[in-house]
Structure 1
Amino acid sequence: MAKNPKVAIEDDTVSERLRYSVSLVKQGRHQFYTLTIPSDILAETCVVTTRKEDPKKGFQRELDKKRAMEIARYIDDELGTIPSSIVLSAQSAADLQIVGRGKTLEFTKRKDAFLILDGQHRVYGFSMAKTALRVPVVIYNGLSRRDETRLFIDINTKQKPVPSQLLLDIKQLADVETEAEEILRDVFDTFDEERNSAMAGLLSPAEASRTKITRVTFNQAVKPLLPLFASRSESEIYDILNAYLMAVTAEITKKTPSPLLAKPVVFRAFLALFRPVVQRLVDKYDQAYTSENFQTILGPVFSNLPIAKLEKPGSSWTTLRDYLEKRVVAKLTL
């Protein structure tokens, strides 16, 4: 990169003209330049316009400083790499020009030279990091505010994020699982693979599904129960939870053949009910965690239970759990 001599700008201050090698790319109605820019230069030349700051022309979201700090720590502490490009729109203050037979981009180093269309948290995170980086950048030139806004919408709607259930499924390959995530993965996989599983055929390991339980839903339901199993192995956790869910399934089957545990609201509600049910089982049967013993505790809960409560449970698993827990207490006998 070469620097031009400092030049005067409109407000009578002096600013540098910076030059970087670029490539021109044409896509659809627009063309843009690809290049790399030092992270400190990005911090000094890029701005955003939020709806709060400019209700008429702003379109960016509010900056999440915590997220930016996480990016800075990732760069400094984990020697992380973020290869995705920052997308910018050159503003008039940049006075952007292409020189050197079309291979070099030149602009004025000013704080309002570029408007960020995508990547504001990365730019801010890079500026907070101690480590200097060379950052991939895409620069559009000559865009109207309408064009900038449309590109912002396209970037944030056309590019779908990776599903959470897939990320959970592949964390083992990246060796970034927490201890709890490792336990939950093992228990989920056992439920998915074992023939005697109460959830056989009702789980979706890596894809979103409306008719099956995903890893995300499973983890949300089971993670709060892990402290109960502090001294138990993954296989023991599976055995106890499977006995419980087999008992739930047996009681549901008395009323309908539909696999209602495949409904996320129903699944989460019954897992949240596990704690009071298992407490009553321990009081009555010590630590004999059999499906039959669980069913003895659950039987009165299902007595006269309108199956519509489970077939059409609504959207709140906590409401269903509260309803079921009241029945546990109401049906208690000594």
Structure 2
Amino acid sequence: MMQDQINDYKYSVSLVTQGEHRFYTLTMQSEVLSNTCFISNRDENPVDGFQRLLNKDRAQKIADYIDNGLGTIPTAIILSAQKEAQFEITGGGKTIKFKNHPKAFLILDGQHRVYGFSLSKTSVRVPVVIYNGLSRRDETRIFIDINTQQKPVPNELLYDIKNLAEYEDNSELLLREIFDFFHSESTSYLIGLTSPAEKSRIKISRVTFNSAFITIIKNFGDKDSFEIYEICNSYIGAFYNGLKKGNIENHITNSTVFKSIISIFPHVAQRTKDKYSNYRMDSFSEILSPLFLKLKPAKISKPGLSYKELSNYLIDCLKTDFVL
């Protein structure tokens, strides 16, 4: 990069042609991006804006990631040169020149990364793609294409490989180990019903499992992952057998049903401990028996989307008449 005047930047570039469009590729300092790029969003510019509002928390995470000294974000920022840039091609097509103006470039993709770079204390070189001469229609179409043609990595896969990247925190590590026991142990009542790396309509994904179990992990104190698995497997086994009596056991993999079953575990476990001083499956079954006497099968076969509503219903079914 050269800055031959206080308000001008020069960069060496490569010209790329794809279909009807031509664009320039280069690397640019993160602070230059911060000083010369802007976004257009529907909230601030309802007439012709098309991008969503920035999420400041997300941008701060990017800044922290860069500042820790280990972060690398090789994905290109995609820009469209505006009239304020006074964009010029020089040097036989191998150099570009533009003004240092806060609205020199409209961001078509990478707005949170640019915002994160602006919050970062560290200057980094960033891959950049620049389109020149686009109409607002073309800019909007490219924005739509970027956001519909690129398929994100499923959260299920990200959870599954986090341990390989050594990115897991303690709770994620614990949840992964518990899930893996349910997925692989021959004693598991969920054997064949779990999907570690993919979303599935007929299986419990790692994302569904984690979101259910994260609410009850604190109830296990310092128990290790296998102890938690054994207790929860006995509980799930008792619940599965209760559902089986109504021929609705296959619905245990429904995310609403599964989250509801796990969310009421503390209520059932407390009663089981108070009455039997153990967490065996037969003890759980005894405590759950009033629930299955009152449970309407349609509540499980057609659970809706609110696991909290179903949880409240299950807790009501657990209640028994008080006897002195």
TM-score where L is the length of structure 2: 0.95
**Aligned residue identity for 1:237:** I
Change in CA separation of 1:176 and 1:123 when aligned onto 2, cut-off 3 Å: same
**1:125 counterpart residue number:** 116
CA contact 2:157–2:198 (8 Å) conserved in 1: yes
Q: Supply the distance in 2 between the matched residues of 1:204 and 1:275 (Cα, whole angstroms).
A: 25
Q: Supply the distance in 2 between the matched residues of 1:16 and 1:274 (Cα, whole angstroms).
A: 64
Which residue among 318, 323, 333 is the counterpart of 2:313? 323
**1:160 counterpart residue number:** 151
**1:140 counterpart residue number:** 131
Which residue among 210, 220, 226 is the counterpart of 1:219? 210
Figure out how many residues of one structure are paired with residues of the other and give that number.
324
**Aligned residue identity for 1:266:** V
Tell me, which stretches of 5 or more residues in structure 1 are unaligned?
7-14
Is 1:298 the counterpart of 2:298? The answer is no
Which residue among 186, 191, 215 is the counterpart of 1:200? 191
Q: Supply the distance in 2 between the matched residues of 1:78 and 1:296 (Cα, whole angstroms).
A: 56
**Aligned residue identity for 1:273:** I
Deviation digits for residues 8-43 of structure 1 (CA, Å, limit 9, x no counterpart):
xxxxxxx53321111111112211110011112111
Tell me, which stretches of 5 or more residues in structure 2 are unaligned?
none
Which residue among 40, 44, 47 is the counterpart of 1:49? 40
Give the 3-state SS of the residue equivalent to 1:216 in structure 2. Answer: helix
CA contact 2:204–2:255 (8 Å) conserved in 1: yes
> How big is the shift at 1:91?
0.8
Listed as ranges, the matches of 1:44-123 within 5 Å are 44-123=35-114
Which residue among 10, 15, 18 is the counterpart of 1:27? 18
CA contact 1:46–1:111 (8 Å) conserved in 2: yes
Give the 3-state SS of the residue equivalent to 1:259 in structure 2. Answer: helix
**1:289 counterpart residue number:** 279
Deviation digits for residues 194-247 of structure 1 (CA, Å, limit 9, x no counterpart):
122111111110001111111111111111111111121111101000000111
Is 1:254 the counterpart of 2:245? The answer is yes
Change in CA separation of 1:225 and 1:179 when aligned onto 2, cut-off 3 Å: same
Change in CA separation of 1:69 and 1:257 when aligned onto 2, cut-off 3 Å: closer
**2:236 counterpart residue number:** 245
Q: Supply the distance in 2 between the matched residues of 1:265 and 1:51 (Cα, whole angstroms).
A: 33
Give the 3-state SS of the residue equivalent to 2:275 in structure 1. Answer: helix
Q: Supply the distance in 2 between the matched residues of 1:112 and 1:190 (Cα, whole angstroms).
A: 54
CA contact 2:8–2:97 (8 Å) conserved in 1: yes
**Aligned residue identity for 2:314:** L
> Which stretch of the first structure deviates more once superposed, 264-273 or 68-77?
68-77
Is 1:191 the counterpart of 2:191? The answer is no
Give the 3-state SS of the residue equivalent to 1:131 in structure 2. Answer: coil
Change in CA separation of 1:168 and 1:310 when aligned onto 2, cut-off 3 Å: same
Q: Supply the distance in 1 between the matched residues of 2:203 and 2:98 (Cα, whole angstroms).
A: 54
**Aligned residue identity for 1:2:** M
Percent of pairs identical after alignment? Answer: 51
Q: Supply the distance in 1 between the matched residues of 2:323 and 2:269 (Cα, whole angstroms).
A: 15
CA contact 1:243–1:294 (8 Å) conserved in 2: yes
Q: Supply the distance in 1 between the matched residues of 2:227 and 2:251 (Cα, whole angstroms).
A: 25
TM-score where L is the length of structure 1: 0.93
**1:2 counterpart residue number:** 2
Change in CA separation of 1:62 and 1:79 when aligned onto 2, cut-off 3 Å: same
